[in-house]
Amino acid sequence: METIVIVGGGAGGLELATRLGEALGRNGRARIVLVDRYPTHFWKPLLHTVASGKLDPQVHQVEYAAQAADHGFEFICGEVQRVERASRTLHLGPWRSDDGAELLPGRSLQYDKLVLACGSVTNFFNIPGAAENSLTLDNVYDAEVFRKRFLACCMQASVTRGGVHIVIVGGGATGVELAAELHHTVRTLAHYKLHTLDPARDVRISIIERSGRLLPQLHPYVSRRAERYLRRMGIEVCTDTAVARVDAGVVCDSAGGRHASDVTVWAAGVEAPPVCATLGVPLNRINQIIVTPELRTESDAHVYAIGDCASQVCPSNGAAAPPRAQVAHQQAQFLAEQLASPARAALPAFRYRDYGSLVSLGPFAAVGVLSGGMRKREMLVGGAAARLLYGLMYRRHIMSLQGFLRMAAQTLAHWIRSKVTPPVKLH
Ligand SMILES: Cc1cc2nc3c(=O)[nH]c(=O)nc-3n(C[C@H](O)[C@H](O)[C@H](O)COP(=O)(O)OP(=O)(O)OC[C@H]3O[C@@H](n4cnc5c(N)ncnc54)[C@H](O)[C@@H]3O)c2cc1C
């Protein structure tokens, strides 16, 4: 029986494993194996809400082992360190306990077909001191580290009667969404008397963005509206500002400006994880695996890549699919169909359909562009209605993994929970 191994159970990989498990694994037509370095899945676009304490990741995670048992695939917990294409073998690192003790030695796993869906990691662009002196939002653990550091800074500043300055490097969706959430969190923490700071006077949140506007990948209307909204909240927006180095406690820009910082968050770009470079297939400048329109690697017909770790250029317009959950979802859908019907003579090309982008501006507003329809018209949206649509994106993701009924039951459970627990995590 053919073994299809998927590395990475994120927005793309978990949906692919679920679909292939249902189509091939359940009826014994193929062995479907998902490998992830963590035991649970958390939808990455919500990481800023974990960092701000608004969302408890324990409540919103999907257990891989349970998903595997329900949908006909196997799950192996471990970090893939190396891929040996000649022998079609994956090498997994040792499995360690939280204190670093080795629980299981390194293992290997054979595949007939391999799908890399291992996402992306923060790109520090070789800026001196950035990796050493900044926090990132690559996964739930990073987001929790930030949340605890932010809470500790607020509590310490209450005692020393100082202030707190958060500097976010990168004015893309991650930076904007995090800044807006923090504005609300600091006020909620004050309400629970976890600090005695005056949120407007003592807590400064700054975004430093190299290009001329926030959200440079999106429509200028979205940038203008997001900037106006953030400035009204008292968030400092520094555009046309390139970070030259990051030291402990200060971010220096290339024009000589110094931005004091208690916590620096680096949200300025992504690159593919190091495991992609072990394949020995063509990569682009940010280590993404270059794939054909069928999502296969150029030099090995048994290896595929989807999501943030893949670089797929549309043959008709030459545009590269952006690193977004929407792309990972569409590629997972496409590849599941192709791998489930291997008898097809020729694979069609994957074509990314951009349905627009929404950026959350805290619990009550969002802004963005919706596109689609026959004429591919763009519709600019904002305010509470856009925030409602933004919330639906996550529900749609859960529905694609667990079906409508479980998604609806979870939505109700989350709503009830939100009525009986504090609006942010307090410890
Ligand atoms: C704060 C934030 C906000 C975002 N907001 C949006 C948004 O609003 N809309 C949008 O479309 N996109 C958004 N994105 C981008 C979106 O999250 C990604 O594009 C999407 O998650 C990519 O999916 P993926 O399947 O490629 O990878 P991921 O979802 O990142 O999953 C990768 C998986 O691979 C696993 N993995 C990695 N390396 C290994 C290894 N060596 N061995 C085993 N497992 C491994 C990881 O543990 C992870 O589970 C946001 C991202 C962030 C960080």
Q: Compute mean pLDDT per 10 residues along the chain, 427 residues long, and list them.
A: 97 98 96 97 96 94 97 96 96 89 92 98 97 97 97 94 95 96 96 93 97 94 95 96 97 96 96 96 96 93 96 81 94 94 74 90 92 75 91 95 96 95 92
Q: What is the pLDDT of residue 123?
A: 97
- Which atom of ligand 1 has the smallest separation from the CA of 178? 1
Q: Which residue has the tokens 């770790």?
A: 309
Q: What local confidence, expressed as pLDDT, does residue 116 receive? A: 98
pTM score, whole prediction: 0.94
Q: Where in the chain is the domain with CATH 3.50.50.60?
A: 3-120+272-340, 130-266
> What average pLDDT is seen over the chain?
94
In this structure, CATH architecture of domain 130-266: 3-Layer(bba) Sandwich (3.50)
- Which pLDDT value is given to residue 345? 59
Structure tokens at 413: 């459970």
Alpha-carbon distance 153 to 163, whole Å?
Answer: 9
H-helix or E-strand containing 20?
A: helix 13-20
- What phi and psi values does residue 46 have, to the nearest 5 degrees? -95, 5
Q: Which residues contact 67 (CB under 8 A, 6 or more apart)?
A: 14, 17, 18, 41, 75, 401, 402
Hey, whose CA ends up nearest to atom 13 of ligand 1?
45
* Amino acid residing at 67: Q
Cα 141 to ligand 1 centroid, rounded to whole Å? 13
For residue 200, report the distance from its CA to the centre of ligand 1, in Å.
Answer: 33
Mutate to test the pocket of ligand 1, among 324, 335, 397 (most ligand atoms within 8 A of CB): 324
Q: Tell me which residue has its CA closest to atom 5 in ligand 1.
A: 45
Ligand 1 centroid from CA 380, angstroms: 26
Q: What local confidence, expressed as pLDDT, does residue 375 receive?
A: 63
Give the ligand 1 atom nearest the CA of 10.
31
Shortest-distance atom of ligand 1 to CA 42: 49
Return the CATH architecture of domain 3-120+272-340: 3-Layer(bba) Sandwich (3.50)
Find the residues whose C-beta lies inside 6 A of ligand 1.
Answer: 7-13, 35-38, 44-45, 47-48, 79-80, 117-119, 137, 173-174, 273, 275, 307-309, 323-326, 328
